[in-house]
Structure 1
Amino acid sequence: MTGFGTAAVHGDDGLVPGGAVAPPIVQSATFSAESDERFTEIATEPRGSAFYTRYGNPNHAQVAAVVAGLEGAETGLVTASGMGAISTLALALLSAGDHVVVQRSTYGGTTSLATGLLPRFGVACTQVDQTDTGAFERALRPETRLVLVETPSNPLLELTDLAAVVASAHAAGALVVVDNTFATPVNQRPLSAGADLVWHSGTKFLGGHSDVSAGVVVGPAGLVERVWQTAIVTGSTLGPVDAWLLLRGIRTLPLRVERHNANALALARALERHPAVARVRYPGLPSHPQHALARRQMTGFGGVLGVELTAGRAGAAALLAGLKLAKRAASLGSVSTLVVHPRSMWAGIVDAAQLAAAGIGDGLVRVSTGIEDTADLVDDFLAALDAAPA
């Protein structure tokens, strides 16, 4: 593999028509063929980009190729959102009577899919503590088909030992699917640890500018084609303009992630020392209980941290209200620093008991660092904390 910066810029070489340096937007829903033979060819080509945009589009092919290259995957496909990616993936690979293992600490949408939607279609689900590697193995059954992993997890920044989970899952005949949204391929490549498929909410770090909603699935061609066959039925189709925006964002991903990593580590170190803070959750801190694992399977620690305020919800509210640079918003991975109170954000999609069981308390604030100057960002948070109840 070439370097990440080179791969982000040149990963779609050969797929861009003409001599355009910036790929053109192919804003066409359908494509013509010059003969019956050619029409049959384009209509039956898996993940083709010259038949009908629900099946594929040149802009889809370009961005999928770049992400696949960054992840060390054979191929990929894009969807209209991250939830479109994981939902389509699950529908493609699961049937009634199957069983799924999913982490207790994971994105709320994934929890809702695994514990709410899939059981309606006869798919059983077991939630496990991802920090207990043995819990995955104990949860496996003969009918287990998928193990859904997110590392670091949203919003607790807990880690999953990828190599260990892959080994036990594969021994039981199950596939391992990894949400790599938080880490990005710059910081972590799950396929190199043996994972079967990787998916992203491209809305986050891949796009990077809070201006596109997208999802990506990458892996071996056979598995990706199975997902694609379901994708053309479910219709979670990414628009050509959004695919173009996603690709535009990915071009600078390695540069942005370097700043995200640096800002998050500096902010985590500063906040850990403040009396209004009970705990900082960040894999790059030696105080993180899985810091050694993070150093082993990650090359950088990411741009997201969790801050638990000593004063609970009152402290969280005061921090959010006192920030000047950071924006209160639901997403993450933007050039702007974004903050949110997870307990409030997920109240409508995950019930209170599940939130409590996952360890998401009232005093937790999730921080997604942007690419602002580090000193300005740290000063903004410290000033807001100085005014917060201790």
Structure 2
Amino acid sequence: MSTDNSSRGRQDGINTRLAHGPYDPQSQHGFVNPPVVHGSTVLFPSMESLNNRIRAPFTYGLWGTPTTKALEDALTELEGAAGTILLPSGLAAVTVPLLAYLSSGDHCLVVDSVYYPTRRFCDGTLSRLGVEVEYFDPHIGEGIAGLMRPETKVVFLEAPGSNTFEIMDVRVACDAAHAGEAVTMMDNTWATPMFFKPLDHGVDLSIHALTKYPGGHSDVMMGSVSATQTTYGRLRDTQMQIGVNAAPDDVYLVLRGLKTMGIRLERHQASALALAEWLESREEVSEVLHPALPSFPGHALWRRQFSGASGLFAFVLKGDARKAAAFLDALRIFGLGYSWGGHESLAVPVDLSDRTIAKGPGGGALIRLQVGLEDVADLKADLEVGFAAANTL
């Protein structure tokens, strides 16, 4: 079933597009899901076709299969991109575009509230390769233009900020980068294309950990990068030079998860906001970091750019690390574990010792919550048990 309804003068809604995608079941005998193609070698019927294989849709397993193409096409449509590449982890989706566009002697601007493994790659591998990385305040606004240099080749964004959820003006940052002929990249895992489309705001390369909401069930690791017409070729070429793609079984799991991502995100959003509002009323909590709360410092900027919020936010528990440990150890439904975007709720303490500028809030211990698909009343009861345990100290 095709979702191209340009001839009807309208476009299907997001959940309809997620449910059907650009894949045509009639291309595979009517089966509603794309087949899982395991393969490395592709046979050509003649020497002429072998010699002209650049025109063939598939040439070798590393370059992709019908399975990977189905997910690439779905994400490209959602992002409004020229093309998408798939990678075996969210971190790989960060590192491959950075390697594609940075060389020795280049300068790279990175928002200070970036995902810690991104910083580790920048301070480790990029530094070793001779790239100078400079971190900037997520609230810098138009001041980012003053950080641009002739050798600045990449401006790397993440919004909201990792763990502390700072909101930045993406369009302003991209305009400054493009004025200096730099490429912009953005980790958009928190919002997904459901709630924010980076390319519509001037971003050149949109990065996602498909491990999170697109996969949705905590059983797969994958990343994607969706690019503009001018940046896709170099991105794809670098991917093939490095020699990395996603495995077909993992791709199938993300394809399956993508079908229900929209309705799951509606539940994640509603439950997380209900808990965030409730936490604001607790005397044990000094601050709640959720962009959709009117009390959040970047709320107005968030509303101007984003159409929704996901299930990840943080709060400051009054007290020290010992109190936070007691709170976390008492939880039964919230699991203690990393990652997010799955069906289950998670809670972890946040360490911001890597930050150089965006130090985060004071007033206690920072705890990050991933709000899953459980009943809100049960999640509140679980957190109340945590508060009771912390209050005994």
Q: Which TM-score band applies after superposition, normalised by the shorter structure?
A: over 0.9
TM-score by length of 1: 0.92
Q: Does 1:128 align with 2:130?
A: no
Q: Is the 8 A contact 1:280 1:307 kept in 2?
A: yes
Q: Does 1:32 align with 2:34?
A: no
- C-alpha distance after superposition, 1:191-223 (max 9, x if no partner): 111111101011111111111110101122442
* CA RMSD after TM alignment: 1.9
Q: Is the 8 A contact 1:77 1:228 kept in 2?
A: yes
Structure 1 segment 246-257 matched on structure 2, within 5 A: 246-257=254-265
5+ residue gaps, structure 1, are 347-351
Structure 1 segment 120-269 matched on structure 2, within 5 A: 120-269=128-277
TM-score by length of 2: 0.92
Task: Return the alpha-carbon distance in structure 2 between the equivalents of residues 261 and 66 of structure 1.
Answer: 23
Number of residues of Structure 1 aligned to a counterpart in Structure 2: 379
Task: Return the alpha-carbon distance in structure 2 between the equivalents of residues 17 and 88 of structure 1.
Answer: 32
1:363 pairs, out of 344, 362, 365, with 365
- Structure 2 partner of 1:349: none
Task: Return the alpha-carbon distance in structure 2 between the equivalents of residues 238 and 255 of structure 1.
Answer: 26
Structure 1 segment 16-165 matched on structure 2, within 5 A: 17-42=28-53, 44=54, 50-165=58-173
Task: Return the alpha-carbon distance in structure 2 between the equivalents of residues 40 and 247 of structure 1.
Answer: 33
Relative to structure 1, the CA distance from residue 321 to residue 123 in structure 2 (aligned partners, 3 Å threshold; closer, same or farther) is same
2:287 pairs, out of 265, 269, 279, with 279
Deviation at 1:49, TM superposition (A): 5.5
Q: Is the 8 A contact 1:277 1:310 kept in 2?
A: yes
Q: Is the 8 A contact 2:106 2:130 kept in 1?
A: yes
1:31 maps to a residue whose letter is V
Q: Is the 8 A contact 2:112 2:356 kept in 1?
A: no
Task: Return the alpha-carbon distance in structure 1 between the equivalents of residues 365 and 69 of structure 2.
Answer: 43
- C-alpha distance after superposition, 1:267-313 (max 9, x if no partner): 11111111221211000111110000011101112211011111121
- Structure 1 partner of 2:379: 377
Bigger mean CA deviation after superposition, 217-226 or 6-15: 6-15
**SS at 2:62 equivalent:** coil
Task: Return the alpha-carbon distance in structure 1 between the equivalents of residues 30 and 50 of structure 2.
Answer: 26
Q: Is the 8 A contact 1:276 1:309 kept in 2?
A: yes
**SS at 1:251 equivalent:** helix
Q: Is the 8 A contact 1:140 1:169 kept in 2?
A: yes
5+ residue gaps, structure 2, are 1-10
- The percentage of aligned residue pairs carrying the same residue is 35
Relative to structure 1, the CA distance from residue 333 to residue 240 in structure 2 (aligned partners, 3 Å threshold; closer, same or farther) is same
- Structure 1 partner of 2:16: 6
Task: Return the alpha-carbon distance in structure 2 between the equivalents of residues 312 and 30 of structure 1.
Answer: 58
Task: Return the alpha-carbon distance in structure 1 between the equivalents of residues 18 and 176 of structure 2.
Answer: 33
Q: Is the 8 A contact 1:342 1:366 kept in 2?
A: yes
Q: Is the 8 A contact 2:216 2:343 kept in 1?
A: yes
Task: Return the alpha-carbon distance in structure 2 between the equivalents of residues 333 and 359 of structure 1.
Answer: 25
Task: Return the alpha-carbon distance in structure 2 between the equivalents of residues 298 and 228 of structure 1.
Answer: 28
Bigger mean CA deviation after superposition, 205-214 or 378-387: 378-387
Task: Return the alpha-carbon distance in structure 2 between the equivalents of residues 38 and 388 of structure 1.
Answer: 69
Deviation at 1:116, TM superposition (A): 2.4
**SS at 2:48 equivalent:** helix
